[in-house]
Amino acid sequence: MARSSRYWKFFNKEWFSNNQKKLLWWINGPLSYIVRCFLEINTKEKLEEIGPNFYCIDKNSSQKCSRFYSGDVFSKNVYRILFPLWWFFHFLDYLFVDRFFPKYSFGFSSLLDVYPAAGSGGGSCDGRMHIFAGPTWSSIHDATSCDNTYLTATSDYLWYVHSGINNNQWDTMDRGFFTFNTSSITSSAVISSASLYIYGFSTQVCQFTDKSGFSIDVVSFTPADVDSVANEDYDQCGTVSFSNMAWGDYVAGSYNVFVLNSSGIANINKTGVSCFATRAYCDRVNTAPTWESSKYGYSKAGRADNSTLGFRPYLEVTYDLITPSTNGNIIIV
């Protein structure tokens, strides 16, 4: 929604923290169904916490489960709901209150031109890195930077490989990435499980005869700036698989669940931003598929900039919070 591209950042982590009790009353109260529809919260379970990009539920007395989106989706949805009031107070500040009664200002008149571009925000983003640098496998696989990085697509490739016309020529390789602000988990948490949910936006395509090299791997990702991935981050995708989905198992029209292994769980930053990339198996292990002239393959997914929350990727983390007891032992709360 273009109208919210600049102003939704007012509803930041501090705003959610200051208004947490009120928000939870509306979300869990008698008008829960209506409020959740507007906010696009697709669970009926009682929420314990909500932030700009996540919500948290209690699994039992000691265990929590948080769902993290790439991008501040709930900030944008709150802004959308409060859009008329937002502009009313904004113009009231700008035209009257700030000029004549500044101590009564709502603080909305100075919130212009200070927000990140579409495709990033809240310390996270997602997208795709694209290289068109043939003619050899090594030239597209080992490159330190790519030709283009796409941050604002509503759907995009998780991976893409294209062979050239001439013998053993390889033209194109794409890698996807996802970053999530997971700082609300806190350092005291012990994570028991985590899964990356990626919506299949279209049917997988692979024109190569041998499809064994085109399963999907989730790996680590270490961009220089987690909020705005650049071409120079192309070589920052890991080679250790956190989760693999075989060719043919990835489906269109629903979420595909990548259950993270212990290495993937260890990659989650409990006090910051967690970064993941997606690669074709042949790319991750650096083994060129059997060459065929001018063939291609890809898997496509919904992205954070999609207007429908049900198409956006998210990271679901289940964890226990632990605190030191007075005698120095660790207890679960």
pLDDT in tens, 189-201: 999 999 999 999 9
pLDDT in tens, 126-176: 999 999 977 899 999 999 999 999 998 999 999 999 999 999 999 999 999
Q: Quickly state the pLDDT bin for 299 (edges 50, 70, 90).
A: very high
Instruction: Give which of 235, 282, 278 is closest to 258, Cα–Cα.
Output: 278
Q: Quickly state the pLDDT bin for 91 (edges 50, 70, 90).
A: low
The rounded Cα 108 to chain-centroid distance in angstroms is: 29
Asked whether the beta carbons of 170 and 135 are under 8 A apart, the reply is yes
Q: What is the DSSP letter of 214?
A: G
Q: Quickly state the pLDDT bin for 113 (edges 50, 70, 90).
A: very low
| Average pLDDT over every residue of 231-247 | 97
What is d(CA 11, CA 22) in angstroms, rounded to the nearest whole number?
A: 14
3 state DSSP class of 119: coil
3 state DSSP class of 201: coil
What is d(CA 248, CA 266) in angstroms, rounded to the nearest whole number?
A: 28
Q: What is the DSSP letter of 258?
A: E
Would the pLDDT of 11 be above 90?
no
Q: Which residue has the tokens 């591209």?
A: 5
Question: What angle do helix axes 73-81 and 83-92 make, rounded to 10 degrees?
Answer: 70
| Average pLDDT over every residue of 15-27 | 91
Looking at per-residue pLDDT, the higher value among 324 and 61 belongs to 61
3 state DSSP class of 122: coil
pLDDT at residue 3, as a whole number: 42
Q: How many CB atoms lie within 10 A of CB 311?
A: 19
pLDDT at residue 111, as a whole number: 40
Interacting residues of 238 by C-beta distance below 8 A, sequence separation 6+: 219, 220, 221, 222, 277
Degrees, nearest 5: CA angle 8-153-136: 140
The domains of the chain are located at 2-53+72-116, 123-320
Burial class (CB in 10 A: 0-12, 13-18, 19+), 188: middle
Please give the structure tokens belonging to residue 312. 């956006």
The pairs formed by 234-239 with CB atoms below 8 angstroms and a separation of 24 or more are 234/129, 234/131, 234/143, 234/144, 234/145, 234/146, 234/175, 235/142, 235/143, 235/144, 235/145, 236/277, 237/175, 237/177, 237/277, 237/279, 238/277, 239/284, 239/285, 239/286
What is d(CA 310, CA 307) in angstroms, rounded to the nearest whole number?
A: 9
Q: Quickly state the pLDDT bin for 123 (edges 50, 70, 90).
A: low
What is d(CA 21, CA 263) in angstroms, rounded to the nearest whole number?
A: 36
- Phi, psi values for residue 18, rounded to 5°: -70, -30
Would the pLDDT of 250 be above 80?
yes
Interacting residues of 275 by C-beta distance below 8 A, sequence separation 6+: 177, 178, 179, 180, 220, 221, 222, 223, 226, 267, 269
Degrees, nearest 5: CA angle 329-332-333: 125
- The most confident of the ranges 75-89, 114-128, 212-226 is 212-226
pLDDT at residue 306, as a whole number: 86
pLDDT at residue 105, as a whole number: 55
pTM of the prediction?
0.83
What is d(CA 146, CA 235) in angstroms, rounded to the nearest whole number?
A: 9
